[in-house]
Structure 1
Amino acid sequence: MARFLKKRDQETGRSPGSLIFVGQQKTDTPRLRLIDYDQEMLKDDFIDSLDTLSACTDSQSTSWLNIDGLHVPDLMSQVGNLFDLSSLILEDIVNTGQRPKLEEFPDALFVTLKMLSLDEELGRINAEQLSAVLTGNCLITFQEKPGDVFDPVRERLRRQSGRLRRLGADYLLYTLLDCVFENYLKVVEILGERIEEFDEEVLGNPTPDLLEEINLYRREMAYIRKAVRPAREIILKLAKTENEIITPQIAPFIRDLHDMAEQVVDAVDIYREMLNDHLNSYNMAVTNRLNDVMKFLTVFATIFIPLSFLAGVYGMNFEIMPELHYRNGYFILLGIMGTVAAVMLAYFKKRKWI
């Protein structure tokens, strides 16, 4: 399946808001996890019935509902009905090829972006779509499969101290986004360490394997860039929002997150430029090496032109050639040929051609 664009054959001709899953199914059965908390209590349970979700709408505490698995339309439809979510939001959630974006509603906020992970063995970036709906005191997140970068947030929730337990669902959304961008930085830094090592290798030993690795990292950096640049736009819009669902005390944290987003984008752009420079340096190194080989072959061939001429002259079969009867003619000719070669080498060296 294409990484940069998802096939949308099933969506062709469908009306807007149709719940058609787009992407690769990554889990067999959807999993629902509800974390309900305030300063005094914390409940963390995996749930089987949607009836339990009424806690998100009725409770005065903060609730975080996480759903792993987007491929069951009936489940998405039931969640949409329970939380009064627009069919267009649900359509974006089940479309895993959706471009990262932020949409605001009078009583809700919708965010979708990519979570990245690095397969260090293959040097390949994997992306998973994360969607979040903030409504009142409830945050609903949708992921393609179990496993994410939010374990530090869950650990902070288990501790009774800290502002995460005191503040509302908007601060919870901020902490999740903060984890996503910190992971962006981590992935870019890991790739960047290897990219910076290319300098000496490109100039010292430009092998075909190195060229293949450079092209691999260029492709992966382009894939990261596709995720992080629109994600930065989301944070910028979030920092400027006047939606009352984002409380004023969260604004400084959002601005700080925007600084991190800028840092991630800058790092990606810098490493992309470095990779382009490495590719140019590789081509120059290979060209210089080829030029050295061609120069050697040219000098070698040039020296042998007069030697071949002399050998050709005395290789003719004319009967009357006085030099053919010299007792030391063979050695004299070899001496002349050696002298010609030495003189030509000295001349080339004087002209700095070799």
Structure 2
Amino acid sequence: MIRTWLSHKGDEPIQGDEQQIGPWLEQEAGTIWIDIDLRSFSHAKAEQLLKRFACHPLAIIDTFRPRHPPKIELFDEQIFMLYRGIQHCIGDLKFEHMQLAMFVGKNYLITLHDGQSQGIENLLQQPFHKYLQHPLSLASRIMHSASTLYLNQLLEFEDQLSELEEQLSSHGDDQLLSTITRYKTDILRLNRIFSYHLSLSKKLLHLEQEQSVNNIAIDQPVLQDLHERFERLHSLSSMYYDICGDLVDGYLSISSHKLNNTMRVLTLITAIFVPLSFLAGIYGMNFEVIPELHHPNGYFILLGTMLLIAVSLIAIFKWKRWF
């Protein structure tokens, strides 16, 4: 499926379809945005269309790859960007991602994606026509719109993270540890995506120094706003990843401390009963000649000795603050 929006000199854009592209290519009057959903539009037709706009063959190959890291490449009078967009927000730091390819020219923007792009659909609900005269700004707003979904999820997770901290300090268990570890993995995955996006926005900020694309209008405040958004996403995900790591380390430290205390108590109990067991073992042997056995108070003397040893050991352990 192809959707197009054509605007002349800042007027309200006229929405159309594939039929709008041919006349525009002949005259190149106004600015056009071509959005291609590859679910209902063949790759062969999309490739032919991109060639009509003189898109670089390597960029076309990267467009149709099923998975490719986000990036930006500069060609003669054209900018090619790959962005990790969002098809569906599952929630709980989970997203159904999609690859969004964008070709930016002097007076056109081509977006290609396999599935519905939440960033594009959200932008269409806003007055986007003011950006249509500057295709690079429009592409930036598409990425900014998608990044809002990322940001909302991270801010919601901040409240969950506070609850996890309280639960872990009050009654932490292995199930809670498993939950935090899963969150840590999800955040790491997002942080890797944000790192790519941050590199992309950094390069966009320095486009004015590139001679090959000086024909493309650059709205620096819009690019700066996009860069700040990606920077914030990257810093938040890094911070939350560190917090989750600290929570896991803290739980393991507490568990280890509890285990050490348990082992210390068991060791002290064993240390107390070793000499008592030694005495019981000696006088429990079946020899005929054990003089103490014939003493009239031998039993009570042995019990007293064992009690004295036990009390003495307990006193020593208390003095050394071993428990």
1:246 deviation in Å?
Answer: 3.7
Determine if contact 2:72/2:79 at 8 Å carries over to the other structure. Answer: yes
Determine if contact 2:99/2:114 at 8 Å carries over to the other structure. Answer: yes
Match of 1:303 in 2: 272
Of 72, 85, 102, which aligns to 1:132? 102
Determine if contact 2:118/2:146 at 8 Å carries over to the other structure. Answer: no
The answer as to 2:32 corresponding to 1:63 is yes
The answer as to 2:24 corresponding to 1:53 is no
Change (3 A) 1:281 1:251: same
Change (3 A) 1:267 1:331: same
Match of 1:170 in 2: 136
Q: CA offsets, 1:194-218, max 9 Å, x none?
A: 3444434445444332333333223
Match of 1:279 in 2: 248
1:237 deviation in Å?
Answer: 1.3
Match of 1:187 in 2: 153
Change (3 A) 1:280 1:235: same
Between the aligned residues of both structures, percent identity stands at 25
Match of 1:231 in 2: 197
Counterparts of 1:136-285 in structure 2, within 5 Å, are: 136-157=106-127, 163-164=130-131, 167-242=133-208, 243-248=213-218, 250-285=219-254
The one-letter code sitting in structure 1 at the alignment partner of 2:130 is R
User: SS at 2:285's partner residue?
Assistant: coil
* Bigger proportion of residues as helix: 2
Q: Gapped runs of 5+ residues in structure 1?
A: 1-30
Counterparts of 1:11-50 in structure 2, within 5 Å, are: 31-37=1-7, 39-45=10-16, 47=17, 50=18
1:278 deviation in Å?
Answer: 2.5
Match of 1:312 in 2: 281
Change (3 A) 1:222 1:107: same
Q: CA offsets, 1:242-284, max 9 Å, x none?
A: 3334425x11221222222222222222222223323322332
Name the CA distance, whole Å, in 2 between partners of 1:309 and 1:59: 102
The one-letter code sitting in structure 1 at the alignment partner of 2:22 is S
Name the CA distance, whole Å, in 2 between partners of 1:190 and 1:132: 30
Q: Gapped runs of 5+ residues in structure 2?
A: none
Of 35, 46, 61, which aligns to 1:76? 46
Of 91, 96, 105, which aligns to 1:120? 91
Q: CA offsets, 1:33-57, max 9 Å, x none?
A: 2233455444345x4xx44432553
Match of 2:311 in 1: 342
Name the CA distance, whole Å, in 2 between partners of 1:210 and 1:154: 41
Name the CA distance, whole Å, in 1 between partners of 2:294 and 2:90: 79
Determine if contact 1:202/1:281 at 8 Å carries over to the other structure. Answer: no
Name the CA distance, whole Å, in 1 between partners of 2:181 and 2:11: 53
Question: Structure 2 length as normaliser, TM-score?
Answer: 0.84
Change (3 A) 1:301 1:172: same
1:327 deviation in Å?
Answer: 6.3
The answer as to 2:79 corresponding to 1:109 is yes
Determine if contact 1:199/1:278 at 8 Å carries over to the other structure. Answer: yes
1:331 deviation in Å?
Answer: 5.3
Question: In terms of mean alpha carbon deviation, does 34-43 or 180-189 score higher?
Answer: 34-43
User: SS at 1:133's partner residue?
Assistant: strand
Name the CA distance, whole Å, in 2 between partners of 1:289 and 1:115: 46
Change (3 A) 1:44 1:335: farther
Change (3 A) 1:83 1:234: same
Change (3 A) 1:37 1:329: farther
Determine if contact 2:144/2:226 at 8 Å carries over to the other structure. Answer: yes
User: SS at 2:3's partner residue?
Assistant: strand
